[in-house]
């Protein structure tokens, strides 16, 4: 059932709205026409097309649209597949006054944003995230990219959306694993500074996560927090790096796994546990707060997978992380819950020690 929607403004007067709530899809139909004066490309995942296409695509009825149905899977977020999509966009008649609408999870959001950033030197992009992960994280902030063999999101750009429509009613069909993927990013936001979200998650039982009011609060709180961080550091020259908590280790695990057998949420949850342990071992994070943060990750069973790689191998892949500088690995660490720090070099021996036995 549709309900009231709320708006979060990102980047102020020159920025964009994120519309959150059951019923937010109605905003798509009212606003999309403002951003395209020519044919519009809808990049939509196959699963979402099959489940929700009949509901979402008619919202764009006043636009002259062409749909590009994207196969599911991180492996399609690649330069080779982007080349195919660019050829399709040209053949479909898109021009410099066109727009791109990305409908799906984080892979589709990253990919559609990448296409929009580069085609004809830049087109507006509207994100319609359909997973909890995309709603709480990847649809906001303008980071778009594709993967190469060396690692995830190595080739990309900053290209802010013109609008984000996060209709939480779309989450009703989401599998449990995908709910946990998004919940991981919400826990991340809670641990690095979103106090109201931390309090909400601490009083929420695992079985209550799918309740509409909980999902709505989770998305709204995460978007508001991330939007504030992005507003203070749009291009990640400084404090925006705190949003990568758990990701230095997490991305290494995903890359080593070739993006199979471990979800993004599981990788980041394992990464958060590792970076919490590193923070404690370095004398930065008190034992009690380290345990409290670990317990929140474990409460929702977010890191429920075994790691089959040895620690030296993980550290080798951490060297490719974009936040590194001066030849040193610099994960986001915590001085306390809600007190993230970044740009601190950590010796590889310290990283290996913290991860040894942590996930056995």
3-state class (DSSP) for residue 17: strand
**pLDDT one-digit tens code per residue, 221-231:** 999 999 999 99
The reply to whether 226 belongs to the active site is yes
Q: How many CB atoms lie within 10 A of CB 11?
A: 14
β-pairing verdict for 339-341 and 6-10: unpaired
pLDDT for res 204: 98
Provide the percentage of residues in the chain whose pLDDT is more than 70.
97
Right CATH for 176-355 from 1.20.1090.10, 3.40.30.10, 3.60.130.10, 3.30.565.60: 1.20.1090.10
Torsion of CA 350, 351, 353, 355, to 10 degrees: 160
Residue 153: per-residue pLDDT: 86
The catalytic position among 189, 240, 277, 317 is 240
Q: Please list the helix, strand and coil fractions of the chain in percent, rounded to the nearest 5, in that order.
A: 50, 20, 30
**Chain center to CA of 78:** 17
Residue 321: pLDDT band with limits 50, 70, 90: confident
Q: Which of 49, 159, 224, 251 is catalytic?
A: 251
Of the candidate ranges 186-190, 241-245, 265-269, 321-325, the one whose mean pLDDT is the lowest? 321-325
Using the predicted structure, report yes or no on whether residue 1 has a pLDDT greater than 70: no
Residue 109 in tokens:
């959001």
CB of 59 within 8 A of CB of 114?
Answer: no
Convert the pLDDT of each residue in 237-255 to its tens digit: 999 999 999 999 998 998 8
Euclidean distance between CA atoms 101 and 114, whole angstroms: 12
* pLDDT tens-digit map of 41-61: 999 999 999 999 999 999 998
Q: Select from 186, 184, 187 the least CA-distant residue to 254.
A: 184
Question: CA–CA separation, 332 vs 354, rounded Å?
Answer: 14
CA distances from 209 to 49, 86, 218 (A): 25, 39, 9
pLDDT band at 324 (very low <50, low <70, confident <90, very high): low
Residue 209 sits at φ, ψ, to 5 deg, of -60, -35
Intrachain domains 6-173 and 176-355 with the same fold:
no
pLDDT at res. 104 = 98
Q: State pLDDT tens for residues 116-133.
A: 999 999 999 999 999 999
Structure confidence at residue 151 (pLDDT): 74
What value does the mean pLDDT of the chain take? 93
317 catalytic? Reply is no
Instruction: Please give the pLDDT value at position 360.
Output: 59
- 137 and 222 in contact (C-beta within 8 Å)? yes
Q: Look at residue 95 in the predicted model and tell me its pLDDT.
A: 96
For the CA atoms of 274, 280, 321, 126, the dihedral, rounded to the nearest 10 degrees, stands at 80
Clarify whether 185 is annotated catalytic: yes
* Phi and psi torsions of 359, nearest 5°: -115, 10
Residues 59, 24: contact at Cβ < 8 Å?
no
What pTM did the predictor assign?
0.92
Select the CATH number that applies to the domain covering 6-173 from these four: 3.40.50.1970, 3.40.30.10, 2.60.120.620, 3.30.1280.10: 3.40.50.1970
φ and ψ of 235, to 5 deg: -105, 20
What is the longest distance spanned by two Cα atoms in the chain?
59
Of 178, 194, 236, 254, which one is the catalytic site residue?
236
Among the options 121, 203, 237, 306, which is catalytic? Answer: 121
The mean pLDDT of 198-212, rounded to a whole number, is 97
DSSP state of 119: G
User: What does DSSP say about strands 163-166 and 151-158: parallel, antiparallel, or unpaired?
Assistant: unpaired
Q: For residue range 256-306, list pLDDT tens digits in order.
A: 888 788 888 999 999 999 999 999 999 999 999 999 999 999 999 999 877
DSSP 190-227: HHHT-HHHHHHHHHS-GGGTTSHHHHHHHHHHHHHHHH
Domain ranges for the chain = 6-173, 176-355
- Does residue 152 register a pLDDT over 80? no
Residue 326, class by beta-carbon neighbours within 10 Å (0-12 exposed, 13-18 middle, 19+ buried)? exposed
| Residue 251 is among the residues annotated as catalytic for this protein | yes
Catalytic residue selected from 27, 244, 280, 330: 244
Active site residue 143: yes
pLDDT at 307: 83
The active-site residue, picked from 77, 264, 273, 280, is 264
pLDDT at 221: 97
- The first and second tokens of residue 264, run together, are 């993004």
pLDDT tens string 68-109: 999 998 899 999 999 999 999 999 999 999 999 999 999 999
Catalytic residue among 127, 159, 226, 317: 226
Catalytic residue (one of 147, 152, 159, 185)? 185
pLDDT at 331: 95
Pairwise CA distance, residues 336 & 286, whole Å: 7
């Amino acid at each position: 059932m549709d309900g009231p929607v709320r708006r979060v403004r990102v980047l102020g007067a020159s920025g964009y709205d994120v519309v959150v709530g059951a019923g937010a899809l109605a905003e798509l139909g009212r606003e999309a026409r403002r951003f395209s004066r020519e044919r519009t490309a809808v990049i939509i995942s196959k699963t979402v097309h099959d489940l929700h296409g009949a509901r979402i695509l008619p919202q764009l009825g006043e636009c002259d649209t062409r749909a590009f149905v994207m196969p599911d899977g991180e492996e399609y977020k690649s330069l080779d597949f982007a080349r195919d999509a660019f050829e399709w966009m040209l053949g479909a008649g898109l021009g410099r006054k066109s727009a791109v609408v990305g409908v799906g999870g984080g892979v589709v959001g990253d990919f559609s944003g990448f296409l929009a950033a580069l085609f004809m030197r830049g087109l507006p992009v509207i994100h319609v995230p359909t997973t909890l992960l995309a709603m709480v994280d990847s649809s906001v902030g303008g980071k778009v990219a594709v993967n190469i063999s060396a690692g995830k999101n190595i080739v990309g750009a900053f290209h802010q959306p013109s609008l984000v429509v996060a209709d939480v009613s779309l989450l009703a069909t989401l599998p449990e694993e995908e709910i946990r993927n998004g919940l991981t990013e919400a826990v991340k936001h809670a641990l690095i500074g979103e106090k109201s979200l931390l309090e909400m998650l601490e009083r929420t039982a695992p079985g209550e996560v799918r309740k509409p009011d909980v999902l709505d609060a989770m998305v709204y709180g995460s978007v508001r927090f991330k939007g504030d961080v992005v507003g203070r550091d749009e291009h990640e020259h400084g404090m925006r790096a705190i949003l990568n908590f758990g990701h230095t280790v997490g991305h290494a695990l995903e890359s080593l796994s070739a993006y199979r057998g471990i979800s993004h949420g599981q990788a980041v949850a394992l990464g958060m546990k590792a970076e919490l342990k590193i923070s404690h071992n370095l004398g930065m994070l008190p034992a009690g707060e380290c345990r409290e943060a670990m317990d929140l990750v474990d409460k929702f069973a977010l890191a429920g997978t075994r790691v089959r790689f040895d620690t030296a191998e993980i550290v080798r892949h951490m060297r490719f992380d974009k936040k590194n500088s001066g030849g040193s690995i610099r994960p986001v660490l915590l001085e306390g819950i809600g007190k993230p720090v970044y740009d601190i070099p950590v010796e590889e021996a310290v990283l290996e020690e913290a991860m040894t036995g942590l996930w056995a």
